[in-house]
Amino acid sequence: MIIVMRSGATKAEIDHVVERLTERGYGANVSGSEVTVIGAIGVLDDDKAGLADQLTALPAVDKVMPVLKRYKLASREFQRERTVVVVRGVAIGDGSLTIMAGPCAVESAEQLLTVARAAKAAGAHVLRGGAYKPRTSPYDFQGMGREGLELLAAARDETGLPVVSEILDPHDVELCARYVDILQIGARNMQNYALLKEVGKSGHPVLLKRGGMYPTIENWMLCAEYILREGNRQVILCERGLPVTGGESATRNVLDISAVAVVHGTSHLPIVVDPSHGTGKAAYVASLALAAAAAGADGLIIEVHPDPERALSDGPQSITPAQFAELMARVRVVSAAVGAKAS
């Protein structure tokens, strides 16, 4: 439920409402500047009516409203202001376009540093790279594991770029959080609830990709809710395309650009778009990246490899450093045209 305070409510009056919620075993999220809004977390159904009556009777409370969305903490009803996730000085969701770039998989120090340096020079803000790779075949390259994490940390130390990397196992949360700045939940693990809870408990920034067996926007939001419910508010959503249906083979997935508008209308969480997985073909990455920027995405995550033909993972959808630099120049023009903040 949402408690809207009257304009001019004092800190003591706001604290009193929070204390009342805490006494009953509920959490509270306080937001707002001119008017304070308190989101009550975990209120039991049979207690909602009585609690609402008691809070409404307080002089400093303007009104008490239910949250209609199934995803409570991720909804705009719960929090009106946009969430901004700040990672090593890089703001995601503040109205600028954050660019995340790097190889699908870390293959060597030379490969990673080549891409990291080129991405930094072209204007990228975050370095992406996979140390653990979920592959359909057990015989395909599975990633370098801890060594890959160490290489990512070294690349961050040299370039200053924060690092985002995928995590697969709940038991690896502490290890991965030691080396990377944003924990990525891949599409295959969107509905891995044990993993969602663990990254939630970590308090570490999380990039949650859309996927799973039922990749509807509502299910995606409910998965974000698992992380938020553990007290971790540093959640970034990532649209990476839906499965192709009807026998179509032109692209690997169908990128849902409309998800940007839907998320911004229903949630306070930032959303980035992955045109690499969204198309599966390097030739289409630039067009979809520009479309996402025009739609108002908070960021892009793009796969870049110095030699895509020899990439150990997702070479067909990776662009070269030179192509990435060219794309960055075009993205800046589109981003400025739609009124995004300079970053």
The tens place of each residue's pLDDT in the chain, 343 residues long, gives 899 999 999 999 999 999 999 999 998 888 877 789 898 988 888 999 999 999 999 999 999 998 888 898 999 988 889 999 999 999 999 999 999 999 999 999 999 999 999 999 999 999 999 999 887 788 788 889 999 999 999 999 999 999 999 999 999 999 999 999 999 999 999 999 999 999 999 999 999 999 988 899 999 999 999 999 898 999 999 999 999 988 888 999 999 999 999 999 999 999 999 999 999 999 999 999 999 999 999 999 999 999 999 999 999 999 999 999 999 999 999 999 999 998 8
Report yes or no: 255 and 271 within 8 Å, Cβ to Cβ: no
Question: Quick one: tokens of 63?
Answer: 């009104």
Which residue in this structure is represented by tokens 């009953």?
24
Distance of CA 231 to the CA centre of its chain: 16
- What integer pLDDT is reported at residue 22 of this predicted model? 94
Bridge partner residues of 29 (DSSP): 39
The contacts of residue 307 (CB under 8 Å, 6+ apart) are 320
Question: Amino acid letter at 250?
Answer: A
Give the β-pairing of 2-5 and 61-65. antiparallel
Token digits of residue 257: 């650009």
The pLDDT of residue 231 is 87
Tokens encoding 109: 């120090």
Count CA within 13 A, CB hemisphere, residue 240: 24
Domains present along the chain, CATH in parentheses: 2-65 (3.30.70.1140), 85-337 (3.20.20.70)
Residue 237 is encoded by which pair of tokens?
């959503």
Task: Give the distance, in angstroms, between the CA of residue 182 and the centroid of all CA atoms in the same chain.
Answer: 9
Supply the pTM of this predicted model: 0.90
Which residues are paired to 98 by β-bridges?
A: 299
**Mind spelling out the 3-state secondary structure of the chain?**
CEEEECCCCCHHHHHHHHHHHHHCCCEEEEECCCCCEEEEECCCHHHHHHHHHHHHCCCCEEEEECCCCCCCCCECCCCCCCCCEEECCEEECCCECEEEEECCECCCHHHHHHHHHHHHHHCCCEEECECCCCCCCCCCCCCCCHHHHHHHHHHHHHHCCCEEEECCCHHHHHHHHHHCCEEEECHHHCCCHHHHHHHHHHCCCEEEECCCCCCCHHHHHHHHHHHHHCCCCCEEEEECCEECCCCCCCCCEECCCHHHHHHHHHECCCEEECHHHHHCCHHHHHHHHHHHHHHCCCEEEEEECCCHHHCCCCHHHCECHHHHHHHHHHHHHHHHHCCCECC
Non-local CB neighbours of 37 within 8 Å, separated by 6+ positions: 2, 3, 4, 5, 30, 31, 79, 80
